[in-house]
């Protein structure tokens, strides 16, 4: 992979492209076209949609981002519920699922074996993490189910992409493959290439995932999320110098917990 070229294209997109605000999580993503994959929640978003939300829905979306940033996961989940009630968009069920997953991971990170005594706090954190994880999966399954209620004749690209990305988050390889096949028939290169990149990653086929990531790091077809998945693939393939160079670029534009954790893992690799 040409890491230098990927970094140059990302820099070009940041300076010459546009920022598209996600109508679901509120994050802003650099893009070279009027549609892209959100750099935070990975929703398929369009510039026109990002400009139309207002009123109660807009307030709920703002509250989601603010609450998540301050790690007030309960408030973020409540705002997702409010946004879903106002819009009936299954994307907010999906977003609720990934926020609950973050909350579960946070509870797990609070488990410590350095404290004296019987560590009752650890048991509480472990139980909370398990409950949040189960709730996360339930919300993701609900998102897939609600999206599936749309008739086949009117099924939109973003609906199918939602079902794919939710299946990916659930690590449901069969489900993700099914929705990838549907995406491939819709003729949208960005959506299908992004989905292929993720599915190959899920299956541990990192060379193939890297190939699709590289195809999304050009001026003709650009997705900033490909920086993260390319960095991950390079790391898994133990191409450490390239991984270090690329992940350094990735976190300039992607601030998700997984991107920051990957950066730390790559940069600390080999250190004692």
> Can you give the pLDDT at residue 120?
77
Q: Which helix (H) or strand (E) holds 245?
A: helix 240-253
Question: 138-150 b/e with 16+ CB inside 10 Å = b?
Answer: ebbbbbbebbeee
Helix (H) or strand (E) holding 44: strand 44-46
* Spatial contact of 105 and 133, defined as CB atoms under 8 Å apart: no
The pLDDT tens digits of the residues spanning 216-245 come to 999 999 999 999 999 999 999 999 999 999
Dihedral over alpha carbons 68, 70, 76, 79 (to 10 degrees): -110
Give the per-residue pLDDT at 152.
58
- Residue 261 burial (10 A CB sphere; 0-12, 13-18, 19+): exposed
Residue 2: exposure state from Cβ atoms within 10 A (0-12, 13-18, ≥19) = exposed
Structure tokens at 155: 């099924």
Instruction: Return the closest-CA partner of residue 228 out of 197, 207, 205, 183.
Output: 197
Give pLDDT tens digits for 15-65: 988 899 999 999 999 999 988 999 999 999 988 765 555 677 888 888 998
Q: What is the reported pLDDT for 101? A: 95
Torsion sign, CA atoms 45, 254, 136, 60: negative
Tell me the helices (H) and strands (E) count for the chain, helix number first: 13, 4
Give how far the C-alpha of residue 132 lies from the chain's centroid of Cα atoms, to the nearest Å. Answer: 18
Whether the CB-CB separation of 164 and 195 falls below 8 Å is answered with yes
| Domain layout of the chain by residue ranges | 3-110+119-268
Task: Identify the pLDDT of residue 151.
Answer: 54
3-110+119-268 in CATH: which number?
1.25.40.10
Look up residue 198 and give its two tokens.
Answer: 């993720």
* High-pLDDT (> 70) share of the chain, %: 94
Which residues of the chain carry a pLDDT beneath 50?
A: 154
Q: What's residue 253's pLDDT?
A: 94
**What pLDDT is recorded for position 56?**
74
Q: What 3-state DSSP class applies to 255? A: coil
């Amino acid at each position: 992979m040409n890491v230098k070229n990927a970094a140059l294209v990302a820099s070009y997109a940041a300076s010459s492209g546009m920022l598209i605000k996600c109508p679901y999580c509120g994050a802003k993503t650099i893009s070279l076209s009027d549609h892209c994959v959100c750099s935070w929640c990975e929703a398929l978003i369009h510039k026109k949609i990002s400009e139309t939300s207002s009123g109660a829905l807009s307030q709920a979306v703002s509250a989601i981002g603010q609450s998540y940033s301050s790690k007030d996961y309960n408030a973020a989940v409540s705002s997702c519920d409010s946004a879903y009630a106002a819009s009936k968009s299954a994307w907010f069920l999906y977003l609720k699922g990934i926020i609950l997953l973050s909350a579960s991971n946070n509870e797990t990170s609070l488990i410590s074996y350095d404290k004296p005594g019987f560590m009752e706090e650890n048991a509480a954190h472990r139980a909370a993490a398990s409950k949040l994880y189960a709730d996360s999966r339930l919300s993701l399954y609900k998102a897939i189910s609600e999206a599936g209620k749309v008739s086949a004749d009117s099924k939109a690209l973003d609906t199918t992409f939602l079902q794919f990305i939710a299946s990916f988050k659930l690590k449901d390889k069969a489900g993700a493959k099914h929705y990838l096949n549907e995406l491939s028939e819709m003729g949208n290169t960005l959506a299908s290439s992004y989905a292929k990149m993720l599915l190959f990653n899920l299956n541990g086929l990192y060379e193939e995932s890297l190939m699709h990531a590289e195809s999304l790091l050009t001026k003709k077809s650009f997705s900033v999320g490909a920086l993260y998945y390319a960095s991950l693939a390079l790391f898994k393939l133990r191409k450490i110098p390239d991984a270090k160079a690329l992940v350094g670029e990735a976190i300039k534009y992607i601030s998700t917990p997984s991107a920051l954790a990957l950066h730390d893992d790559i940069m600390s690799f080999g250190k004692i």
